Structure 1
Amino acid sequence: MTGSGVEGVVTMSVQPVDDDGEALLTVDELAAATGMTVRTTRYYAGLGLLPPPERRGRMAYYGPQHRARLDLIRALQDHGFTLSAIEKYLSRIPLEAPIEDLAVQRAMLTSWTSEKRETLTRRQVEKRAGRRLSDEDLDTLVKVQGLRREGAGYQVLAPFDSAVQTLDLHIPVDSFVEASAAIGRHMDELADELTAILRDKIVTPFRESEHSEEEAARFEQMFSRLRQLTLEGVVAGFQHAANQVISRSLSS
């Protein structure tokens, strides 16, 4: 009796790799690795925020560079960047930028970022404000960048407490919007300059030198203190500049 069968045939899928031997991921695997949905990942790719995937037949694969770029996008989101601000930020970073550069960018963002913002309900925002807020009040707080709408909820931004106080000043909202825009313009320039200093004078030299785990831990702690000192310096510098403007106006 003859048989014509194949016993114990096992097919094994081989993880595809790029030219450097790094594992390539499908869009589903990339989304899972970065904590994003597949839809969001594809949306960012469609906006040109990610390099084109590597095509192998009908399959599209993503490598470490795509993951590093998505990790940077997540860091920007945690920092409070809107989508348009993220697009503007990433437009300054070439799509072919190496992973190391993207990691440095993320490290610098993390060093200036406070704790991650929670999305609050309207009632929670009112509790934080210590008062009832009308629809008009909420719109005003959004316009003066005290709040940001996030789906059906809100995220409280750094100027929230000051923004709430403006509700009782009976001053046209447009004046606060213009002031916020002016602050935003100059803060963007200041942040760019401070980030360049941080990257060129501190982060890059540290990355290029050998260091122990203990030294790396101290370096991370130093960043936290550096952030506090920098913010204090920005406030003190603004107060000094404002006093000089007032003095000049009184003496003229």
Structure 2
Amino acid sequence: MPNMPPSAPPSPADSDMPASAASRNEYTVDELARVSDTTVRNVRAYQDRGLLAPPEKRGRVGVYDDTHVSRLKLINHLLSRGYTLANIQDLIMAVDEGHDLRSILGLETAIGGRWSRERPKKYSLIELLQMFGDKASPGALAKAVDLGLLERDGLSFVSGSPTALAAGATLAKEGIPLADLLDAVGIARPHFSAVAKALVDLVVHQLDRYDPDALPPPADVPALVDAIWRVRPLAMVLVESEMNRALEEASGDYLGDRVAAIMEKKLGHAAQSDAGKNKRPKK
């Protein structure tokens, strides 16, 4: 969980967030690059070009937050669609000149900010072996990297979700084969992606009443940001509720099928036994 000193000054975007959203995630430049799927070199370059706001200085350390994450995600997305950095710079300058900067940053963060408050954590190979025991085979590690559950960092590995990694280690210790667990993640991921798309649609549905090729009027942005921040946690509640329902249904079906199979087996044995008794010659 990010540390928030009580005396920390509010960021430009905090004035557009409700109180529950003002406690922002904070990152070093290395953490920012990792969670934004870019490099430290790119972060520095974007700052130099004015595409990214400088970090808050605390002594000699620069502290970034979710406004920087959402801006980097926007830059990455535009680059992937073929825009140049010069195009993006012109676009951002035009947006910033036409709208209140605090409102734009607040809208960017409300829509594109991270949904998780977990911070990436680095693990040595020895630490992973201690967590997973002999199940942490080279093949399992390679598959975890392919799935994005772990990222190689020299001789170490980085997990974007230490909580999920710890849960996987506990399941492995309970006897669930790690290969099966990773297969389950791979099978479930497309379904989670579909659920996420539906939930994001719910969140950004607030924008549907505006022209799709234009930003909302500046006067509407603060209320829109507040509405999106209220919807985000409710969407997560919906996910948890539906997941619990689905797990109960799936486990109930499995238990019912297993009991039915046992009953059929027992009834079959009983029928065979009765048939054997009927065939015995009478004395």
TM-score (norm 2): 0.44
Structure with a larger share of its residues in helix: 2
Q: Which has the higher contact order (CA 8 A, sep 6+)?
A: 2
Instruction: Tell which structure's C-alpha radius of gyration is larger.
Output: 2
